[in-house]
A and B are shown apart, each in its own frame.
Chain A
Amino acid sequence: MKILIEVFSAPGCAKCAQTRQALKSVAEELGKERFVWREVNVLQEIDYAVQLGVLAPPSLAIDGKLVFAALPTPDRLRTELAKRLERAGSRSAR
């Protein structure tokens, strides 16, 4: 099953756009086919953002759970995703 990565941000933030791109590259490096990347406009999906506990965008959720209240560094995201891939791999091996 693919891992869902959702980045919550408000439109028009140039700084967020740069960081988002760097994070997206991390997911792509680890395997494009293993992730679903979704960019969420908090103003358009405010109910969903509130449900996940997003308080100050940009934030990042993985598989429907808020994991990073503020955008992580590419290294931190790489570590988190690698951990999840490893877990998913050992589950499917069982």
Chain B
Amino acid sequence: MLTIGKVAERAQVTADSIRFYEREGLIRPAGKSESGYRLYTEEAIRRIEFIKQAQECGFSLADIRELLELRSTDSACCDDIYRVSVEKKLQLEHKIKALTAMSQALTRLIDMCSHDRKSLDECPILGALEAGVAKQGGKAPKAQLKMGAKSK
């Protein structure tokens, strides 16, 4: 049996992380020592490695809980894991699409700035945000026109 410190060292995580995983129901100590310390088996290290790997693939703790449950369910099969993975990939692709749109909106705003060091009242970026130009990709606001900002 292994103490929390040993598990942390072997799995290369902190003891706090292990306690956190435990609170989240992802791992459980196999028992307690006479003095009340948590004790774990080698399985805890394998589970922590699994959790770390899954987190790197974008799985949330709730997803990981589901994957771990499936892993220990006799009736589950690879189709179940496959389904969860496909759904996660789709979610990630949705996020990438949203982030790309945000990045493009920021590019439009950045392009509006002429670096003229005018007052904030005339800031084209603030003006565009107020006018919703970044979202629409439409024409420049008054402030930008006043400052004669570059157009691309």
Residues of A participating in the B interface, judged by any CB pair closer than 8 Å = 10, 12-14, 42-43, 46-47, 49-51, 53-57
User: Which of B8-16, B20-28, B81-89 touches A?
Assistant: B81-89
- Assess whether B90 is in contact with A49, with CB atoms less than 8 Å apart: yes
Range, interface on chain B: 10 to 19
B91 at the A/B interface (Cβ < 8 Å)?
Answer: yes
The one of B82, B93, B94, B97 in contact with A10, judged by C-beta atoms closer than 8 angstroms, is: B82
- Assess whether B79 is in contact with A56, with CB atoms less than 8 Å apart: no
Apart from A57-B86, A57-B90, list 5 A-B contacts with CB within 8 A: A12-B82, A43-B86, A47-B93, A49-B93, A50-B97
DSSP majority for the A interface? loop
- Which residues on the A side are within 8 Å of B93 (C-beta)? 46-47, 49-50
In the complex, which residue of chain B has the Cβ closest to the Cβ of A57? B86
> 27 A-B pairs, CB-CB below 8 angstroms?
A10-B82, A10-B86, A12-B79, A13-B79, A13-B83, A14-B79, A42-B86, A42-B90, A43-B86, A43-B89, A46-B89, A46-B90, A46-B93, A47-B93, A49-B90, A49-B93, A50-B90, A50-B93, A50-B97, A53-B94, A54-B90, A55-B91, A55-B94, A56-B87, A56-B90, A57-B86, A57-B90
Minimum Cβ distance to chain A for residue B10 (Å): 36
In the complex, which residue of chain B has the Cβ closest to the Cβ of A59? B90
DSSP majority for the B interface? helix
Q: Which 4 A-B pairs have the closest CB atoms?
A: A10-B86, A50-B93, A56-B87, A50-B94
- Assess whether B90 is in contact with A55, with CB atoms less than 8 Å apart: yes
A53 to B94, CA, bound (A): 8
Minimum Cβ distance to chain A for residue B88 (Å): 10
Interface centre among B83, B90, B91 (most CB of A within 10 A): B90
Minimum Cβ distance to chain A for residue B118 (Å): 40
- Which residues on the B side are within 8 Å of A57 (C-beta)? 86-87, 90
Minimum Cβ distance to chain A for residue B112 (Å): 28
A59 to B64, CA, bound (A): 24
In the complex, which residue of chain A has the Cβ closest to the Cβ of B87? A56
